[in-house]
């Protein structure tokens, strides 16, 4: 029996298997944001329909739920009613804000007219705001606290439970 071979083999096997095992439960596509705990990147964008400019820094003082979405994105349709209902319910304590990404204004307007809205939606400029926030794909939702610090990020279609849970962090 060769002890060196045994020892080296067991070490390699342990490392490899350990790493693979730890990797098992994880979703490699879920990217955690490095922006959590940092100041939300400032932007001022034009609101769909009204043409009014909304500056995110002016919203300081109350928590903001920032939702990146687009009309061509299926999961965004799914989460839309949940966001609209919660925004209506939480008024005026929490400000909801939609940022549309890579879309046409006419499509957004007809989408909002059809499906209703209870909070303003602004249009991004060539995805620059999305890039600064580290958006991978829509929909993604950021929870910004009253001091303008990003407290949480959620990728994928929002559901009521997750929304409540994350809101608790920014409402404290």
Q: CA quadruple 67, 170, 61, 33: dihedral positive or negative?
A: negative
| Residue nearer to other proteins on the CB measure, 102 or 118 | 102
| Residue nearer to other proteins on the CB measure, 31 or 89 | 31
DSSP secondary structure letter of residue 42: P
Give the range of 78-86, 90-98, 123-131, 159-167 binding other proteins by CB under 8 A. 123-131
| Residue nearer to other proteins on the CB measure, 12 or 89 | 12
Based on the shown chain and the rule CB under 8 A, indicate whether residue 120 belongs to the binding site for other proteins. no
Based on the shown chain and the rule CB under 8 A, indicate whether residue 89 belongs to the binding site for other proteins. no
HSE-up (13 A, CA, CB side) for residue 83: 33
Q: CA quadruple 151, 154, 158, 161: dihedral positive or negative?
A: negative
Give the range of 17-25, 77-85, 112-120, 164-172 binding other proteins by CB under 8 A. 17-25
Contacts (Cβ under 8 Å, ≥6 apart) of 90 = 96, 167
Tokens of 27: 């979703």
Based on the shown chain and the rule CB under 8 A, indicate whether residue 105 belongs to the binding site for other proteins. no
Based on the shown chain and the rule CB under 8 A, indicate whether residue 127 belongs to the binding site for other proteins. yes
Based on the shown chain and the rule CB under 8 A, indicate whether residue 22 belongs to the binding site for other proteins. yes
Based on the shown chain and the rule CB under 8 A, indicate whether residue 23 belongs to the binding site for other proteins. yes
Based on the shown chain and the rule CB under 8 A, indicate whether residue 137 belongs to the binding site for other proteins. yes
| Residue nearer to other proteins on the CB measure, 74 or 92 | 74
Q: How far is the CB of 42 from other proteins (least distance, A)?
A: 6
Residue from 144, 94, 143, 146 nearest 118 by CA: 94
List % helix, strand, coil for the chain (3-state, nearest 5).
Answer: 40, 20, 40
Burial of 164 (0-12, 13-18, 19+ CB in 10 A): exposed
Residue ranges that bind other proteins, judged by CB under 8 A: 1-3, 5-6, 9-10, 13, 16-24, 26-29, 31-35, 41-46, 52-53, 55, 58, 72, 74, 101-102, 124-137
């Amino acid at each position: 029996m060769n002890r060196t071979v045994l020892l080296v083999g067991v070490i390699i096997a342990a490392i490899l298997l350990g790493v693979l095992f730890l990797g098992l439960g994880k979703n490699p596509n879920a990217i955690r944001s490095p922006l959590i705990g940092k100041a939300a990147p400032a932007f001022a964008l034009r609101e769909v329909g009204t043409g009014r400019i909304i500056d995110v820094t002016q919203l300081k003082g109350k928590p903001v739920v920032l939702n990146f979405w687009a009309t061509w994105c299926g999961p965004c349709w799914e989460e839309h009613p949940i966001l609209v209902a919660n925004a209506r319910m939480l008024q005026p304590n929490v400000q909801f804000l939609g940022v549309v990404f890579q879309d046409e204004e006419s499509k957004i307007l007809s989408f909002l007219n059809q499906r209703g809205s209870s909070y303003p939606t602004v249009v991004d400029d060539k995805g620059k705001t999305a890039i600064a926030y580290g958006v991978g794909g829509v929909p993604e939702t950021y929870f910004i606290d009253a001091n303008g610090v990003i407290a949480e990020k959620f990728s994928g279609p929002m559901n009521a439970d997750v929304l409540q849970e994350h809101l608790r962090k920014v409402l404290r």
